[in-house]
Structure 1
Amino acid sequence: MKLFFSAAILFFTLLCTVTAQHARPEQRTYSITRAGEKILIDGLETESAWHNAVSQSGFRQHFPSDTMDARYQTFVKMCYDDQALYVYARCLRDSTRKYVVATLRRDFGTDANDYFALVIEPYQDYTNGFRFMVNAFGAQEESLLASGGNYNDEPRWDCKWQVAVKRSPSEWTAEIRIPFTSLRYHPKNTRWRINFIRSDAASNERSVWNPVPLAFRVFSLAYTGTLDWQAHSPRPGVNFSVIPYALGGYTADKQQHKYGWKWNVGGDLKFSITPTLNLDVTINPDFSQVDVDRQVTNLTRFDLYFPEQRLFFIENSDLFARFGFSKIRPFFSRRIGLYRGRQVPILAGVRLSGKLDDNWRIGIMSVQTAGSKALQKGPENYITLAIQRKVFKRSALGFIFVNRQGFAGPKIDSYNYNRIAGIDLDYANKDNTLTGKFFFHHSFQPGTLQDAFAHASYLGFTNLRWSAMWNHEYVGKNYNADSLGFVPRQNIYDALKKENRKMAYWRLEPSLSHYWYPKRNRHIFRYTAGLYWNYYADGRFAATDVNYNPFFDITFRDNSIFSVGYNENFTRLFYFTDVLGRDESNSFLNPGRYHYRNAYVSYTSNPRKVVYGEASFQGGTFFNGDLYTVTTGLNYRAQPWGIFSLTASYDRLRLPGMSQAQTLLLAGPRIEINPTRSVFFTLFTQYNTQARNLNVYTRLQWRYAPLSDLFLVYTDNYDTSGFLNKNRGIVLKLVYWFQPRIPGKRRQSGTT
């Protein structure tokens, strides 16, 4: 143990040595003016308000270099009235190149698109904000930014805003209107953080208005400029939305012998109690239109994480869901309304979330489930309280309390509960080179409280040449997040006795990477050499899983990537282990110590091309056998209306107990056809021999009004052994987003 703590001290010493902050680039300022007339959103700057507005350019490259002006400049103007913020962008381009636009679908993503983006951070905390993007064909994406814009974007958040674009071979323009009711801000603030981002995928250039170093994400809130209102910004008024739905469908479940029609109504309500505090209510919610999970071949012995896709749990989700680490979450919203892979009806839910002032952020959520006789699960209530306090310049101290309370009929079952309380510190320095996280959580459940806690720390350093990370984790044997959160490594499955055993564990996870940028090389952008070490131990600090991974990557100037690496592994199994998850004794591994190793190579081609793909190979020993894995993906983009993809993963596994090698195949096509910006069709098929299931998912979506949709969803599941149908269903769902205008008291502000 002394060796590990000595290594930790040495690592922190080296980290502190190299974290001398470099000065941030000078922040730019945009002084916004009031529009003196109504602006028609048509992609043209014909109104006099645009002629009177300040025009700013001087965009700097972010990629492939952050030391020069953009080759193709962008000119930006802004103005506002009492109802909305307006942005006009004129984007120059190479007239000899075709536009690169992946899709017309809403929430189109940042890859392989000519787009213009606006980042807004109205709180001056450099931590949370909004991102609005439009591509050159007018598709829209709005996202919530969290964690300083470094990660945790939430593109599934929806709000109302308008955009219109115009195109010519040499330029395209975007005119944007964002209602103040779609934003969360305090009108007393006279300055917001802001940045404009331009992606010219056709010329392989990404540029920004306020410079962002290449080492950081282009959406980083640490490097935003200033939006100067010159006086108080307009009051946003009252944001009030009613979102009812009605659906009808038919389900045929041959395994459960259940057949019948389903009719349902329900809806959501959104109400802004203050300009920065929002109340959300859901009644009898339905999630039949959400995307199906992408399946993964799992040979890890532990549960896999699948992201939340239900809209009620999306807005301000970082406030609830980002406590802890990715493998130690005290709150995981997919525990609510889902049990053993099947749905449990949610009766209602209410959430209050947002900013109390510039320093305090709060979230309170309560959800009531109805229970399920078929699953032998009674009604439950879930309550989550999260509080964040801004500390230092870009850091936050947070507190979370999560409670699941079971019911026995109409009465509370005093012995059926699970609770967790904890505190987290998220740290980021001024220029984003140093980030960290530290937390301590304690669970409360009937019985013993000894060793019922978890704690962890993370510290990371990033600049243009180096990145380094240190992470430690500890989870006590009696720490219990089974019905609230996500802690997959704590439960060890005994395949012989068919039961889970809880174990305490430690984790140490350091890594170090170095980057080279070759000069005057027309093809190669960057070399990366790194070393990753992942060490798991039991409560006595005896090793249980160890991975040692040196790797080398080449990133090309066309955005293609080549990677090669080596894994040296050690695993100690305490019980008989079924690596295939099929409960078949020929795939059981005996308790004991295993040393095994493999090598891998992968290549991802240029995603800006109409045809692009990826391929990887990994092979070597696996416990006391052999495992070879090939994954491939091929994509064709019929831009801008269609994307056709085919992915496949093939595993060939041989263990001593097997009479012959086992092959696992996970493959399927995905077709997305979007003939307009309001009609979207998806067909997704997944053939999974590990799960012995063939899934067919089809969804047709018509956005007949802003944020109002008609969905037709069809799902089908077959057993792969004889292709007998297990279940199928079809649902027609109508959603309408009604937003009556309720004017709030406004203050005239700015210049006229």
Structure 2
Amino acid sequence: MDEPAWDAISTLPMVQYEPNAGEAPTERTEIRLAYDDTYFYCSMRAYDSDPNGVRATSLYRDRISGSDHLELLLDTYNDNETAYVFTTTPAGIRNDLEISNDGTGGTISSNTWLNRDFNTFWDAETTVTDQGWFAEIRIPFSSLRFQDTDGRVIMGLTVQRKVARKLERLVFPAVPPKTNFAFLRPSLAQKIVLTGIKPIKTLYVTPYVLAGHEQINALNDSGTGYDQRGEFQGNLGGDVKFSITNNLTADFTINTDFAQAEADDQLVNLSRFSLFFPEKRQFFQERASIFDFRTGGLSRLFFSRRIGLTATGEQVPIYGGVRLIGRMNTWDLAVLDMQTQRQDTIPSENFGVLRLRKRVFNRNSYLGGMFTSRIDTEGNSNLAYGVDGLIRVAGDDYLTLQWAQTFDSRFVDQAAADFKSGRLALEMNRRRRRGFGYTVGAIFSGPNYNPGVGFVDRSDFKYGTTALSHTWFRESGPFIWHKLEALGNAYLDNSSNYVLSSEYGAEWSFSRRNLDGGSVLVKKVYENILTDFPLAEGVVIPPGMYDFYRISGTYSMAVDRTVRTGAVLETGTFYDGWLHTLTLTPSWYQSKYFQLNLEYSYNYGIFDNRNEILNFHIARLRVGTALNRHISTNALLQYNGAQDLLSYNVRFRWNFREGQDLWIVVNSGLNTDRMAFTPNLPRTANRSILLKYIHTFIF
């Protein structure tokens, strides 16, 4: 950062993105870019009029936690859709993530455009002085994926500085806040041209060794109690990553293990449909967006949690597999093949995925296809194919379309010709948070649609949705923007066309000048229940047609505050009763050595006609501690009142260097209402302690 070579490079012209878009920075900021044949560099001299106000509230990898930071976005394929993001703070921690879908989403293509679990190899060093803080980022081109055309590489670039105490975000180029998180949209990035890049074809070999002990409680043969047994665990395996070319990477895995992945959140399902849990396992993270094939809402043709996990989240051992991801000219290519072991009544299975996608019409549009297979050793098979597209029609107006069809050997009466095993999703929306906005969508899902390697929340329906909105931006006053939206949707039965469920309402949302945000939503809900619907233990909604009204309000303080909270209050009639829900999400970044994050939800429902009461709490407490950037502990403590279960997941990490880690992971649970069951539950649920060492060799 103090090398004379940096002074010979011009600084980037930074402007405010928030709170006052387009205005000059309030703090002197010098950001410079450079590269050689193997690395891309970014340096920042972040001068500060109040050096004591510089914030560094975390020492844990991938956790910014309201710190000041330098952030670099690189659309390495120049596809205006995907990008890598690299962030560092005054404490020198590294945060990296992937962006897909141009950082946006609608009702069909919504959610998960931000992959926070992605990690790769790069370096960051920082220092804090009485003048401010200073940072340098070095990214090897071997950690990026890009296309070289006649010695030229075109990328999109966005650079940011965040002054946390002022809630001020500086950005280059001068990205206007026309959508949520516009500064993370690859299509709005500045185009840069690099020449003479000669990245090394790097081979990463990452073996692991694992040892531990697990305590299991199993019902005895007579069914009168539980027997406790202990099992020692030991395992060897590893991963290999090889960059075949600048834009084609192969990954191999043997005896795959995910012991260090964080436990799933405890959730309560107050709907009639399946809950969705995100993928947290590292092997499935890099360029995961290329495998993204949505078929409406949370449903998707490929869902990596189908591999090596049961429907309840229990691990199924994986023999190994291979993944190939890359780009050739305007084509994206991804191949995945994994083989699981037999476990109890679950046979050994092979999972295969082929994904192709090609840019068409313009730089913001593509057409693609996917094929998936799930074949077990007992002769059962599930095959699926799909075609999809994203078309930029004009300006910020986009058309999304998906068609998928499945073929399952267990459905002998399935007829492919009548589309009973198919699913079609269409959506037109405006990706802009200014002035008039809209979303119009439709889904058709056949009764036999069943992607064996995918996720489906509900099937056998027709669906339509419409949302119309208007957003106002204010140059002054308490609000940066506020939006009024009218929305509605309905699910219809395929055979009879009667309404299964619907929602209609209006929402007002806003962002304040201090970056707090909130909303108020009023809606009318209709549900047609055909069979008994168990809502919770002792609470069953009988068949019938129900109209009820709900109102909710949310408020969330700016994420850059060291002490902050969010709150959600929802109330109103619920089927033939009332349901009140309160959710609080306080956070305290006490220092870079210690932080607390709590998520608490209380649900109280009363159904007078049946004298039934729903009353339970859900709580998740995350405790983060760190001695330095290399040694840290993270604990996740959860209480699920609906299941009377208290559980904890504690992960100690000693990161010697990038790719070399020692993990100690402890998992356990306590049954808080043992006497409610016959036979009585053991006080302690299954418990395990695992030690895992990972070492990456780079060739």
Is the TM-score greater than 0.5? yes
Whole-angstrom CA distance in 2 between matches of 1:325 and 1:642:
40
Runs (4+) of structure 1 exceeding 6 A deviation are none
What letter matches 1:380 in structure 2?
E
2:444 and 2:690 map into 1 onto residues whose CA distance is: 45
- The correspondence of residues 120-519 of structure 1 with structure 2, limited to 5 A, is 120-150=74-104, 152-187=113-148, 188-216=151-179, 217-229=182-194, 232-255=195-218, 257-341=228-312, 342-357=314-329, 359-373=330-344, 376-391=345-360, 392-408=362-378, 413=379, 416-428=380-392, 433-446=396-409, 447=412, 448-449=414-415, 450=418, 451-461=420-430, 462-481=432-451, 483-490=452-459, 504-519=460-475
Alignment check: 8 A CA contact 1:59 1:73 kept = no
Q: How many residues align?
A: 663
Alignment match, 1:37 = none
- List gaps (5 residues or longer) in structure 2: 105-111, 220-227, 675-681
Do 2:465 and 2:490's aligned partners in 1 also have CA atoms closer than 8 Å?
A: yes
Q: Distance in 1 between the 2:321 and 2:229 partners? A: 28
What is the CA–CA distance in structure 1 between the aligned matches of 2:210 and 2:613, rounded to whole Å?
Answer: 47
Query: Per the alignment, do residues 169 and 395 of structure 1 end up closer, same or farther by CA in structure 2, a change over 3 Å counting?
Result: farther
- Per-residue Cα deviation, 1:14-44 (whole angstroms, up to 9, x for no partner): xxxxxxxxxxxxxxxxxxxxxxxxxxxxxx3
> CA distance change for structure 1 residues 469 and 93 in 2, over 3 Å: closer, same or farther?
farther
- Give the counterpart of 1:556 among 505, 512, 518: 512
Using the alignment, how far apart are the partners of 1:45 and 1:532 within structure 2? 55
Distance 2:278 2:518 in 1: 28
Q: Does 558-567 or 92-101 show the bigger shift?
A: 92-101
Verify the 8 A CA contact 1:143 1:155 in the aligned structure 2. Answer: yes
Q: Is the 8 A contact 1:120 1:131 kept in 2?
A: yes
Residue 629 of structure 2: aligned partner = 677
| Per-residue deviation, 1:287 | 0.8
Q: Do the aligned partners of residues 87 and 633 (structure 1) sit closer, same or farther apart at CA in structure 2, a change above 3 Å counting?
A: closer
Q: 1:327 to 1:542 in 2, by over 3 A?
A: farther
Offset of 1:430 from its aligned partner? Answer: 7.7
- Judge conservation of contact 1:587–1:657 (CA < 8 Å) in 2: no
Rounded to whole Å, the distance in 2 between the matches of 1:639 and 1:429 is: 48
Amino acid at match of 2:173: N
Question: What is the SS of the residue equivalent to 2:386?
Answer: strand
Aligned partner of 1:112 in structure 2 is 66
| Map of 1:19 onto structure 2 | none
TM-score (norm 1): 0.85
CA drift at 1:97: 6.1
Question: Secondary structure at 1:197's aligned position in 2?
Answer: strand
- State the SS of the aligned residue for 1:303: coil
Q: Secondary structure at the match of 1:254?
A: strand
Matches of residues 518-533 of structure 1 in structure 2 within 5 Å?
518-521=474-477, 523-533=478-488
- In structure 1, C-alpha distance between the alignment counterparts of 2:193 and 2:401, rounded to whole Å: 35
SS of match in other structure, 1:56 = coil
Name the CA shift for 1:612/1:332 in 2 (closer, same or farther; >3 Å): same
1:63 alignment partner in structure 2: 18
> In structure 1, what is the Cα distance between the partners aligned to 2:620 and 2:158?
40
**Which aligned pairs between 1:8-19 and structure 2 lie closer than 5 A?**
none
Shift of 1:661: 1.8
Task: Tell me how far apart the structure 2 counterparts of residues 628 and 464 of structure 1 sit (CA, whole Å).
Answer: 34
After superposition, the Cα gap between the structure-2 partners of 1:657 and 1:344, relative to the gap in structure 1 and judged at 3 Å, is: farther
Question: Aligned partners of 1:703 and 1:368: how far apart in 2?
Answer: 30
Cα gap change, 1:96 to 1:705, in 2 (>3 Å): closer
Structure 2 match to 1:45:
2
What is aligned with 1:85?
40
**Residues 93-114 of structure 1: CA distance to partner in whole angstroms, max 9, x if unpaired?**
34266123331211125x6231
Letter in 2 for 1:697: N
Q: 1:247 to 1:96 in 2, by over 3 A?
A: closer
Q: Following the alignment from structure 2 to structure 1, what is the Cα–Cα distance between the partners of residues 33 and 597?
A: 39
How far did residue 73 of structure 1 move? Answer: 4.3
Instruction: State the identity %.
Output: 25
**1:489 partner SS:** coil
- Shift in Å, 1:644: 1.2
CA distance in 1, matches of 2:40, 2:654: 28
Distance 1:224 1:605, change over 3 A: closer
Distance 1:518 1:319, change over 3 A: closer
Distance change >3 Å, CA 691–CA 536, structure 1 → 2: same
Paired residues of 1:211 and 1:223 also in contact (CA < 8 A): no
CA distance in structure 2 between the partners assigned to 1:525 and 1:191 by the alignment: 34
1:729 pairs with 668, 688, 693, which one? Answer: 688
Partner of 2:225: none
Aligned counterparts of 1:64 and 1:573: Cα–Cα separation in 2: 47
1:4 alignment counterpart? none
Quickly say closer, same or farther: Cα 1:339–1:258, change in 2 above 3 A. farther
Amino acid at match of 2:260: Q
Superposed CA RMSD in Å reads 1.9
The one-letter code of the counterpart of 1:613 is: T
Q: How far off is 1:631 after superposition? A: 1.3
Amino acid at match of 2:449: Y
Ranges in structure 1 where 5+ consecutive residues have no aligned partner: 1-43, 491-503, 741-752
Cα deviations across residues 315-334 of structure 1 (Å, max 9, x unaligned)? 12111133433432111111
Match of 1:577 among 533, 542, 565: 533
Distance in 2 (CA, whole Å) between partners of 1:298 and 1:420 is 28
| Residues 97, 202 of structure 1: 8 Å contact kept | no
Distance 1:57 1:619 in 2: 50
8 Å CA contact 1:327–1:489 kept in 2: the answer is no
- Cα deviation for residue 660 of structure 1 reads 4.5
CA offset at residue 253 of structure 1?
1.0
- Aligned in 2, Cα 1:555/1:268: closer, same or farther, shift over 3 Å? same
Q: Please report how far the alpha carbon of residue 708 of structure 1 lies from its aligned counterpart in structure 2 after TM superposition.
A: 1.6
Residue 164 to residue 429, structure 1, CA distance change in 2 (3 Å): farther
Contact 1:159 1:707 in 2 (8 A): no
Greater mean alpha carbon deviation, residues 217-226 or residues 98-107: 98-107
Distance 1:387 1:258, change over 3 A: farther
Distance in structure 1 (CA, Å) of the matches to 2:612 and 2:450:
40
CA contact (8 A) 1:530 1:551 kept: yes
State the one-letter code of the partner of 1:93: D
Distance of 1:621 and 1:280 partners within structure 2? 52
**Whole-angstrom distance in 2 between the partners of 1:92 and 1:422:** 52
Could you state the TM-score of these two structures normalised by the residue count of structure 2?
0.91
- Residues 71-92 of structure 1: per-residue CA shift (max 9 Å, x gap): 3343222223332122212223
Q: Partner of 1:148: helix, strand, or coil?
A: helix
Contact 1:148–1:220 at 8 Å: present in 2 too? yes
Amino acid at match of 2:406: S
SS in structure 1 of the partner of residue 322 of structure 2 = strand
Query: Is the 8 Å Cα contact of residues 62 and 211 (structure 1) preserved in structure 2?
Result: yes
Q: How many Å apart are 1:465 and its aligned residue? A: 2.6
Helix, strand or coil at the partner of 2:481: strand
Separation in 1, partners of 2:33, 2:554: 45
